[in-house]
Amino acid sequence: MRGYGEIPVFTNTSLIVPILLLAGASSAMAQDAAEAQAFFDSNCVACHTIGGGRLVGPDLHGVNTRQTREWLIDFMVDPAKVLASGDAYAQEILAASNQVPMPQLPGLDAAMAGALLDLIAEKSGTPIAAGPVEEAVPFTAADVFLGEELFVGSQAFMHGSPACISCHNVDGVGGFFGGGNLGPDLTEVFTTLNGRRPLTAWLGSPASDTMKPIFADAKMTDGEINALVAFFDAQVNGESAADRAAVAGTASASFFYSGLAFAVLILLVFAFLWRNRYTATRTPMVEASKR
């Protein structure tokens, strides 16, 4: 996804510092740009491109001309606040993004937002590359199968990322207990996140508060992401999608009721094991003597 490397990218701060000291004020701009590029690459690319077309979020090519700079900075720093204010343009973006709101990103303060806008403005100066669009290789059954194995954890991720099922549910997957409830339900994530390319981009650099720290040091490989996307695709477009729809919600319901039954069972077991706990000695002794 990093095909926009015309500007040198300094990700190594130990390099940046001596350059900054030597080159003075003009390099300060270069350093801001470098930081902004690094931030963009690790956060924004999950949902956005600059001139690469729409992913989950809009293409940011020329975004600086669509709204005022103040509005954009406000929105970037705290999207939830702007959305809550009922701003019409913000609602429009939300609707266009399948109601997936932009998350609030740690480290994205007003200064960084400004630097990012500068970066985007600069990149928007070059026209959209009209190169040939890469043809996506169609998913195979093997991809879907591997995706499911990765999702439920029977196949481990190469870099040690946790299995999806520990936090996420996909209806009909994971047997009786289904998946976790900590993260959102992923049954229809393929549709929600706008299809193959955005979903692939998102998984390449998960941007949510919860997933980001977990996957920062345990990135999934391209092959694994491809398999997972294939698996998510099959949930919506596959042959068994209709069957899946039929069992929607049953996993979490059965999980709840089995949990309840288990709790009752445990209580009964301990009630039996400790059945003598309140049997007194003295009172029965006194009562017996009165008879």
**By the rule CB under 8 A, 281 interacts with another protein:** yes
* CA trace torsion 230, 232, 235, 240 (10° rounding): 30
The amino acid that residue 246 corresponds to is A
The amino acid that residue 199 corresponds to is L
* CA trace torsion 58, 46, 111, 89 (10° rounding): 20
The residue (of 2 and 290) whose beta carbon lies closer to another protein is 290
Candidates 130-138, 190-198, 203-211, 272-280; binding stretch for another protein (CB under 8 A) = 272-280
Smallest distance, Å, CB 272 to another protein? 11
Using CB under 8 A as the binding criterion, the count of chain residues that bind another protein stands at: 14
How far apart CA 177 and CA 98 sit, in angstroms, is 29
8 A C-beta contact, residue 220 and residue 157: yes
**By the rule CB under 8 A, 280 interacts with another protein:** yes
**By the rule CB under 8 A, 176 interacts with another protein:** no
**By the rule CB under 8 A, 2 interacts with another protein:** no
Percentages helix, strand, coil for the chain (3-state, rounded to 5) are: 60, 0, 40
How far apart CA 202 and CA 151 sit, in angstroms, is 16
Candidates 148-156, 206-214, 241-249, 270-278; binding stretch for another protein (CB under 8 A) = 270-278
Candidates 50-58, 140-148, 157-165, 266-274; binding stretch for another protein (CB under 8 A) = 266-274
**By the rule CB under 8 A, 267 interacts with another protein:** no
**By the rule CB under 8 A, 272 interacts with another protein:** no
8 A C-beta contact, residue 177 and residue 255: yes
By CB under 8 A, name the binding residues for another protein. 270, 273-274, 276-283, 285-286, 289
